[in-house]
Amino acid sequence: MRLKDPFSLKAADMTKRTNKPRKPRDEESSDEVSGLTCQHVSRAVDLNSVKKSVLSSVWSVCSECLKERTMIDGEPAASQDILVCLKCGFQGCNQSGIQHVVKHQQAFHPESHCITISLSTWKAWCFECSEELSTHCNKKALAQSLDFLQKHSVKATSAVSPKIIKLREEPPDYADPPKGKSSVSSALVPVKGINNLGNTCFFNAVMQNLSQTHMLIDLIQEVKEKGYKLRICPPPETNLSPLTVVLPSPEPLTAAMFAFLHNMKDPGKGCVNPKILFNQLCQKAPCFKGYQQQDSQELLHYLLDSIRVEETKRVKAGILKAFNNPTEKTADEETKRQVKAYGKEGVKMNFVDRIFVGELTNTIMCEECEHISTVKEAFIDISLPIIEERLTLLCFCVCIDKKVEKVYTSARKQMLISSLPPVITLHLKRFHQAGMNLRKVNRHVDFPLILDLAPFCSASCKNLAVGERVLYSLYGIVEHSGSMRGGHYTAYVKVRLSQCFGNKTLTPLSQGQWVYVSDTTVQMVPESRVLNSQAYLLFYEEIL
């Protein structure tokens, strides 16, 4: 099930501590109070010592590896996961087989050097408790240490690379590629931080991924202006000719989305303030008002659904204008038929449907009567359970007196993709109901960089030939760290070098740089860190 407002508890409840013995934890799940009961923070965190050590050391490099000139998998130790001891500021690697940070903790008094923060994920870990700590809900010293390390990271990395990561220069406007040959796209793809308006990291993480959705940026350039011409081609059975309609100005939320994405791409500005876009969304979805922590998947649904409604209204207005704005009283039956036919096709041409919306075929077969029911439904994302869910399926059977009876029977359920979108979003269901409580599954889930969706498509999939592979490439992740009461959303996005063949965009698999973004913090990271993230939403784009 989809959970609403999993973080809507009051601040007073978030900081409440308990001295009661903790209950045994599920191996794969952590309940809502995880990370709030660590007793080591007071003696294992010394911010002054951390500041002195960090400011006098090489940033994001394992101190021991630096002494030993250690290389890990052919890369310098600096590119691996580095943990900072919050007692003394020691920076150590956590690479399997070396683990200098573990050796450091064991060499000193274990309880005094047991808490660390990862410089790649910004997660806090207590070696004594063997669990992740919430930096938002523990003692003030822990939150202050995180804040210092993040700010120092921005300063240290900006000396090497600017906050706006620029992978290539724009060629001149007149440099058109020769026919039939490929050329590097002229689009400049920056990565910028986004200001947190107050617990809006759930929004920022999603917007980072949308900002790196190339097809979205390209289509927005086409449809953002008033007067854009849309050509609608109804199916042959309607006996209607193609109709070109002129669209009016975008609606408020869509216009704010266009402006936001433009600012994210503009190389001349620093971090982007999302206030206008966020406020427009709150007008459509009041559940996001109040600056409380919300759910990123819910945000994605509300945002795309609301924009889709606005763009549908815009297309319908253009169609009516083409017919001189007929009404129920003035239009004859033929005009009504034509407006309806053009409208049915036209609403599918909004950019949300063209990029994100696919179709699932849901088939249920009763194992007793073998009755099969099939339902088709559109999707913006596909939700995947991490733990097994037992479902009781309801089936209608006729099996002697020919009266229909409602009974519970065993049934098989199969869900296949019957229409593939250019961008597909996978939602890993980390939040679920456990009795009266909401719980989060913290277990790591492996996910591929290249995903073949052909095995999950129906035989009649609209855009799939028999025996064909359908490859999608991972380009974005929304990660949720922490617990139900004190979580934080961040993003990993892949800045790609696109190539153009005619009107098609190709994404080379070997090119691109992964970037970690936490609100205004922007940091380049290796692929290995991305694959170890606690993914919540996965964004894949079709490889043409």
pLDDT at 15: 37
Please choose, from the candidates 254, 266, 189, 195, the residue with its C-alpha nearest in 3D space to the C-alpha of residue 226: 254
- Paired tokens of 442: 């913290």
CB atoms within 10 A of CB 321: 13
Q: Return the residue matching tokens 């109709």.
A: 243
Residue linked to tokens 């809006």: 200
Task: Using alpha carbons, list the distances in angstroms from residue 467 to 73, 355, 416.
Answer: 37, 24, 16
383 token code pair = 């939700």
CA nearest neighbour of 414 among 368, 367, 448: 367
109 is catalytic: no
Closest-CA residue to 49 (of 57, 40, 37): 57
Per-residue pLDDT 10s for the chain (544 aa) are 343 333 333 333 333 334 444 443 433 343 333 344 678 888 889 999 999 988 888 788 888 877 665 544 444 444 457 899 999 999 988 776 677 888 888 887 777 899 999 887 788 888 888 888 876 554 678 888 888 888 887 777 654 443 444 443 333 333 343 433 333 333 434 689 999 998 899 999 999 999 999 999 888 877 777 778 889 988 888 889 999 998 888 889 999 999 999 899 887 768 899 999 999 999 999 999 877 888 999 999 999 999 999 999 999 889 988 888 888 778 888 888 888 999 888 888 889 999 999 999 988 988 888 888 889 999 999 998 886 444 434 444 436 444 555 677 788 888 899 999 999 999 998 887 777 777 788 888 899 999 999 888 888 887 677 778 889 999 999 999 877 667 889 999 999 865 444 444 444 444 688 999 999 989 889 999 999 999 999 999 998 7
Residue position matching structure tokens 């691109």: 512
Q: Where are the alpha helices (DSSP H) in 199-295?
A: 201-211, 214-223, 252-265, 275-284
- 40, 104, 136, 488: the active-site residue: 488
201 is annotated as an active-site residue: yes
Report the distance separating Cα 113 and Cα 102, nearest Å: 10
Angle, helix 201-211 to helix 296-322, in steps of 10 degrees: 50
Which token pair is 167?
A: 């992978």
Distance CA 173, CA 121 (A): 40
Report the distance separating Cα 440 and Cα 433, nearest Å.
Answer: 9
**How far is Cα 395 from Cα 409, in angstroms, rounded to an integer?**
7
What residues contact 354, with CB distance under 8 A and at least 6 apart?
215, 219, 348, 422
| pTM score | 0.65
Distance (Å, whole) CA 417 – CA 413:
14
Outline where 119-167 has alpha helix (H): 140-158
Amino acid at 275: K
Cα 257 to Cα 514: distance, rounded to the nearest angstrom: 24
- Which residues touch 196 (CB under 8 Å, ≥6 apart)? 204, 519, 520
Determine which one of 65, 126, 201, 366 is catalytic.
Answer: 201
Residue 312 φ then ψ, to 5°:
-65, -45
Tell the residue number behind the tokens 């050097």, with chain if given.
113
Among 302, 297, 330, 311, smallest CA distance to 431 is for 297
